[in-house]
């Protein structure tokens, strides 16, 4: 069911992102000279207190307050190494360009049928001619048409405050303009979408969150002892 | 009539007994064989049903595998994914129909695509709006499995389907793909052809009384019987039970189709989510009834039983005839023997029962002939004995009722002597003398017999008789005295009757003594006779001699007079008797005055 949940969150966040980015633009013009900023330290664990890596943490501005800054688009790479996408989870601002270099000595066929971004890179080797622009906020699930087990997720955000948890399950959002935000967490295996209203002041805020995950499903990989990439 | 024959004729008894014995043995053998055959047939069918159940499972598994082999590649097929992502439903249905057409030999495969909320996206067959509820539990089951797959039997549009559920991967699961084949007439016929058993697919809603038959290899005319027998199925799950259909017996095994495959071991949500979810949905329970014909299995045994019965019947008839003949061969000579023995019983000892046989009957006939010979001999002896003793005594002697061993006993001994014999022997020729003596002794002997005496011997013209032995008589002295008187009387009549033949006159002197003597058989082993010895015998002989000196023809001793006092005894004083030192008192008896 989590796929459905993801889709739901995608569509909601797409709408709200657009609205919020417009509002933020107006607010930024009005109050740009007087910003107060704080940090958010977040630690995410399972119910068994195991750290969860690769959780995308975003803060979306609430209450009609102008977004301090628009997220700057990036140019990044999602590589194919040893028949896996590296990294498996990528978070990028809207409008970022992603290239998919194939570092294996075999061909890959990268695709996405997600609503956030549908594209198809038929069999290729090396670096494709053009990077793919992810211009709509949401989640794009990537696959390889040759290798069923290969999957990757590109989370496209419309906020400057985003981060991905490290191996310790920790992420830190720095220099966040004070105000009211919606804390949104996303992980490929999360059971249901996580949204929480949070207020950022001039102090550092620390938060510890317990996220419920469901068992991983992944197509069986050739010559592999493990099917699991995520916790 | 029958009982009379049975009781009276050995032949019938033997025949009936042997025939009854053969009948009982044959019947018991048939019964045991029959029971053993039924038990054997039941064992075979039970084993076959078990194999059939396994083959049935394998057939379903094989078809499930075929579905998976088609469904799994389709769920990760790029074109199919693209069509799904495009959301063009007619193209999607067309692609799904194209996939179902790849299943060989099964034309009625269905394929349904549903989203994670069990909303039908596309289907190769028209479904009613509640169809999704029937497979809801399979989706839950798949969701709880690591493989994200499940299968089970569900009823769609009143038809049981074996359904597999597998996720559509783009590359993560995006929707559920359901593929299934109907457990219909084609399926039961295929399964029946492979397993050689009758197969029926039926279900029962919790609210229904009767089971519903969805497909069966039985003829539809048998469905009413089939339904009424299968209504009891709950009592017989995991058991083999016997039902009667159209006069044929079937052993039946029930296979719960929704329990065909165990759940995956790593399923952590519920020990049996299928059953739980079925209960929640009030899903009908679906079963396969696998039935083996006991009647068909027993057919060769029935033929064997018929042959056995025929053999036993023939054996019975042969036994009846043989027993009849054998018993007749026994009883027929027995009838002859019986007639011969009856003839012997009438005293005809000349009859011969001839059986030219070497067996027991031959021995019996020889024994009977020997017995007849012995009886004849005995009769001859009896007749000879009868000449010297009375018939009564002779009979008693032959019957061995009399002790003839030596013993001391009181008897009365009588001597009768023909006086003037010397003169007589000079007057008569030898033959005349012998004829006279025979007539004379005959006369005396008859009287002795009359008074139960025994002629001990004839000594020339003298006769010696014993009273009180060998047959004991209390009144032996009285009998002897009466015999003496009778002799004198008889001789008077003898003289009168034979005066024309025997013109001469003669007298007879009689001596009687009662005393203790030794009685018994005396002589050699080969030749002996019953007699008495002792002084008493001598005294009787002397008394007879003494009668010549007195006018009395009968002289008795004191002992005899004491023992038989009721006679007109005349004391004759004491006499000197030869061989006796003392004088002996003697008494005379005149028969004319007694």
Dump pLDDT digits (tens) for A37-50.
899 999 999 989 99
User: Within 13 Å of residue A189, how many CA atoms lie on the same side as its CB?
Assistant: 19
Asked if the C-beta of B116 comes within 8 angstroms of chain A's C-beta atoms, the answer is: yes
Chain B residues with CB-CB distance to A109 below 8 A:
78
Q: So what's the pLDDT on residue B264?
A: 37
Quote the minimal CA–CA distance from A14 to chain B in Å: 19
Question: Taking CA atoms, what residue in B is nearest to A218?
Answer: B172
Which of B82, B84, B173 is closest, CB to CB, to A3? B173
Q: How far apart are CA B456 and CA B200, in angstroms?
A: 114
Q: Cβ distance A151 to A142 under 8 Å? A: yes
* Residue B190 CB-density burial (10 A; 0-12 exposed, 13-18 middle, 19+ buried): middle
Q: Which spans in chain A are helix H?
A: 2-31
Does A75-156 match A2-71+158-210 at the fold level? yes
Q: Where are the domains of chain A?
A: 2-71+158-210, 75-156
DSSP for B441-501 reads: HHHHHHHHHHTT-EEEEEETTEEEEEESSSS--TTHHHHHHHHHHHHHHHHHHHHHHTTTT
Chain A residues with CB-CB distance to B172 below 8 A:
3, 141, 143, 151, 188, 217
Contact between A217 and B167 using a beta-carbon 8 Å cutoff: yes
DSSP A15: H
Pick B218 or A229 by higher pLDDT: B218
Chain B residues with CB-CB distance to A122 below 8 A:
none
Which chain A residues in 153-192 lie under 8 Å from chain B, judged by CB atoms? 188
Q: Cβ distance B323 to B19 under 8 Å? A: yes
Q: So what's the pLDDT on residue B386?
A: 60
Contact between B116 and A1 using a beta-carbon 8 Å cutoff: yes
Quote the minimal CA–CA distance from B277 to chain A in Å: 18
For β-strands A79-81 and A118-124, DSSP reports them as unpaired
Contact between B170 and A109 using a beta-carbon 8 Å cutoff: no
Torsional class of B311: left (φ above 0), alpha (ψ -120 to 50), beta (otherwise): alpha
Distances (CA, A) of B349 to A37, B189, B337, B345, B353: 159, 93, 14, 8, 11
Q: Give CATH for domain A2-71+158-210.
A: 2.60.40.10
Quote the minimal CA–CA distance from B204 to chain A in Å: 32
Which of A219, A222, A227, A230 to substitute to test the interface with B, most B CBs within 10 Å?
A: A219
Asked if the C-beta of A123 comes within 8 angstroms of chain B's C-beta atoms, the answer is: no
Q: What 3-state class would DSSP assign to B111?
A: strand
Buried b (16+ CB within 10 A) or exposed e, B480-510: bbbbbbbbbebbeebeeeeeeebeeebebbb
Dihedral of the alpha carbons of B133, B138, B139, B142, in degrees to the nearest 10: 180
CA B92, B98, B102, B103 torsion-angle sign: positive
Contacts of A196 (CB under 8 A, 6+ apart): A182, A183
Q: Which CATH number fits domain A75-156: 2.60.40.420, 2.40.30.10, 3.40.630.10, 3.40.50.2300?
A: 2.60.40.420
Angle (CA) B178-B261-B255 rounded to 5° is 110
* Domains observed in chain B: 10-296 (3.30.450.20), 403-589 (3.30.70.1230)
**B510-548 tens-digit pLDDT:** 999 999 999 887 777 767 777 888 989 999 999 998 888
Q: How far apart are CA B111 and CA B66, in angstroms?
A: 13
DSSP A130: S
Which of B172, B176, B267, B269 to substitute to test the interface with A, most A CBs within 10 Å?
A: B172
Q: Cβ distance B115 to B133 under 8 Å? A: no
- Alpha carbon distance, N-terminus to C-terminus of chain B: 71
Q: How far apart are CA A61 and CA A57, in angstroms?
A: 13
Q: Which of B458, B477, B474, B454 is nearest to B466 (CA)?
A: B454
ipTM of the complex: 0.72
Q: So what's the pLDDT on residue A22?
A: 52
Question: For each of chain B's 594 residues, which pLDDT tens digit applies?
Answer: 667 766 667 778 888 888 888 888 888 988 888 888 888 888 888 888 888 888 888 888 888 998 998 888 888 888 899 999 888 999 999 999 988 888 776 678 999 999 999 999 999 999 887 888 889 989 999 988 888 899 999 988 888 999 999 999 888 898 999 999 999 998 899 888 888 889 999 988 777 778 889 999 998 888 888 888 888 888 887 788 888 887 888 889 888 887 544 433 333 333 343 333 343 445 578 889 988 888 888 888 888 888 888 888 888 888 888 888 888 887 888 888 888 888 888 888 888 887 778 888 888 888 888 888 888 887 777 666 665 566 666 666 666 555 556 788 999 999 999 888 888 888 888 898 888 889 899 999 999 989 989 888 888 889 999 998 888 889 999 999 999 999 999 988 988 888 888 888 888 999 999 999 998 877 777 677 778 889 899 999 999 988 888 888 899 999 999 999 999 898 888 888 888 888 889 999 877 655
């Amino acid at each position: 069911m989590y796929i459905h949940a993801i889709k739901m969150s995608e569509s909601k966040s797409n709408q709200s992102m657009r609205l919020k980015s417009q509002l933020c633009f107006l607010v930024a013009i009005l109050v740009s000279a007087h910003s107060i900023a704080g940090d958010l330290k977040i630690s995410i664990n399972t119910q068994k207190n195991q750290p969860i890596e690769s959780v995308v943490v975003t803060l979306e501005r609430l209450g009609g307050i102008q977004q301090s800054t628009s997220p700057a688009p990036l140019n990044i790479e999602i590589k194919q190494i040893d028949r896996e996408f590296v990294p498996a989870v990528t978070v990028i601002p809207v409008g970022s360009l992603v290239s998919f270099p194939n570092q294996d000595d075999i061909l890959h066929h990268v695709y996405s049928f997600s609503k956030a971004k549908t594209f198809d890179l038929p069999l290729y080797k090396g670096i494709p001619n053009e990077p793919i622009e992810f211009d709509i906020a949401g989640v794009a699930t990537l696959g390889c048409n040759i290798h069923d087990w290969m999957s990757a997720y590109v989370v496209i955000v419309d906020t400057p405050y985003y981060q991905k948890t490290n191996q310790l399950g920790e992420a830190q959002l720095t220099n966040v303009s004070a105000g009211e935000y919606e804390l949104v967490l996303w992980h490929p295996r999360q059971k249901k979408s996580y949204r929480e209203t949070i207020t950022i002041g001039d102090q550092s805020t620390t938060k510890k969150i317990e996220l419920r995950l469901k068992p991983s499903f992944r197509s069986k990989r050739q010559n592999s002892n493990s099917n699991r990439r995520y916790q | 009539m029958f009982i009379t024959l049975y009781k009276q004729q050995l032949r019938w008894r033997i025949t009936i007994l042997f025939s009854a014995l053969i009948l009982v043995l044959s019947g018991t053998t048939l019964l045991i064989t029959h029971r053993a055959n039924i038990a054997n047939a039941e064992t075979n069918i039970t084993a076959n049903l078990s194999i059939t159940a396994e083959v049935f499972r394998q057939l379903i598994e094989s078809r499930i595998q075929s579905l998976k082999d088609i469904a799994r590649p389709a769920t990760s097929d790029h074109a199919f994914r693209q069509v799904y992502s495009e959301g063009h439903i007619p193209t999607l249905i067309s692609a799904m129909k194209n996939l179902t057409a790849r299943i060989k030999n099964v034309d009625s495969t269905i394929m349904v695509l549903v989203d994670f909320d069990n909303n039908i996206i596309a289907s190769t067959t028209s479904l009613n709006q509640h169809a999704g509820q029937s497979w809801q539990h399979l989706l839950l089951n798949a969701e709880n499995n690591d493989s994200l797959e499940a299968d089970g039997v569900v009823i769609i549009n009143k038809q049981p389907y074996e359904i597999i559920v597998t996720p559509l991967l783009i590359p993560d699961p995006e929707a559920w793909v359901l593929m299934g084949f109907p457990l219909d007439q084609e399926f039961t016929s295929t399964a029946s052809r492979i397993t050689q058993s009758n197969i029926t697919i039926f279900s029962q809603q919790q609210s229904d009384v009767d089971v519903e038959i969805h497909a069966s290899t039985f003829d539809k005319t048998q469905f009413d019987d089939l339904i009424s027998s299968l209504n009891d199925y709950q009592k017989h799950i995991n058991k083999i039970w016997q039902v009667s259909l159209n006069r044929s017996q079937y052993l039946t095994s029930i296979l719960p189709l929704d329990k065909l495959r165990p759940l995956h071991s790593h399923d952590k949500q519920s020990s049996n989510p299928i059953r739980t979810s079925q209960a929640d949905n009030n899903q009908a329970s679906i079963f396969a009834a696998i039935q083996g014909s006991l009647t068909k299995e027993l057919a060769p045994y029935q033929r064997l039983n018929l042959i056995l019965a025929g053999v036993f019947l023939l054996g019975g008839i042969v036994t009846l005839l043989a027993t009849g003949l054998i018993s007749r061969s026994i009883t027929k000579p027995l009838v002859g023997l019986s007639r011969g023995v009856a003839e012997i019983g009438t005293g005809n000892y000349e009859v011969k029962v001839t059986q030219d046989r070497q067996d027991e009957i031959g021995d019996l006939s020889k024994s009977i002939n020997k017995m007849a010979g012995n009886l004849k001999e005995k009769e001859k002896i009896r007749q000879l004995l009868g000449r010297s003793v009375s018939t009564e005594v002779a009979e008693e002697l032959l019957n061995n009722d009399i002790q003839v061993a030596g013993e001391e006993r009181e008897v009365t001994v009588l001597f009768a002597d023909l006086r003037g014999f010397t003169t007589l022997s000079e007057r008569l020729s030898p033959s005349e003398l012998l004829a006279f003596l025979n007539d004379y002794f005959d006369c005396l002997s008859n009287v002795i017999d009359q008074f139960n005496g025994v002629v001990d011997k004839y000594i020339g013209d003298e006769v010696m008789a014993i009273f009180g032995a060998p047959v004991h008589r209390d009144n032996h002295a009285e009998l002897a005295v009466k015999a003496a008187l009778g002799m004198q009387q008889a001789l008077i009549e003898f003289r009168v009757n034979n005066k024309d033949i025997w013109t001469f006159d003669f007298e007879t002197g009689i001596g009687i003594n009662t005393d203790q003597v030794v009685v018994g058989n005396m002589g050699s082993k080969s030749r002996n006779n019953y007699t008495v010895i002792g002084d008493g015998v001598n005294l009787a002989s002397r008394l007879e001699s003494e009668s010549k000196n007195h006018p009395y023809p009968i002289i008795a001793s004191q002992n005899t007079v004491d023992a038989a006092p009721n006679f007109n005894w005349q004391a004759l004083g004491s006499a000197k008797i030869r061989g006796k030192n003392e004088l002996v008192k003697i008494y005379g008896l005149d028969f004319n005055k007694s």
